[in-house]
């Protein structure tokens, strides 16, 4: 990976804005909030992860993004 900006934010107030400035970012819910985390890819909201497996799902999204964006060119 030549250059990748990854944002993992823990604030529903600033998180979405900061995540938009990254190649890929997530804004995690705070304590007591519903388990929902918007994911931003290349500055745009791509999806919202929900449930108990947000972290694992996000890792998979990052791995897929890296594989697609930085695929070896033959």
SS3 content of the chain, % helix, strand, coil (to 5): 30, 30, 40
Residue 18 is predicted with a pLDDT of 82
Confidence tier at 16 by pLDDT (50, 70, 90): confident
What are the backbone angles phi and psi of residue 39, rounded to the nearest 5°?
Answer: -115, 130
The pLDDT mean for the chain works out to: 88
Domains of the chain: 6-69 (3.30.413.10)
pTM listed for this prediction: 0.84
For 29-70, what is each residue's pLDDT tens digit?
877 788 899 999 999 999 999 998 999 999 999 999 999 998
Q: Which contacts qualify for 14-17: CB closer than 8 Å, 24 or more apart?
A: 16/40, 16/45
Closest by CA position to 22, among listed 41, 39, 38, 35: 41
């Amino acid at each position: 990976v030549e250059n990748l900006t990854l944002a993992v934010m823990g604030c529903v107030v600033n998180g979405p804005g900061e995540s938009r400035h990254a190649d890929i970012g997530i804004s995690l819910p705070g304590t007591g909030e519903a388990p929902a985390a918007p994911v931003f890819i290349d500055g745009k909201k791509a999806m919202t992860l929900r449930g108990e497996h947000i972290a694992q799902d996000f890792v998979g999204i990052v791995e897929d993004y890296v594989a697609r964006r930085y695929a070896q060119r033959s």
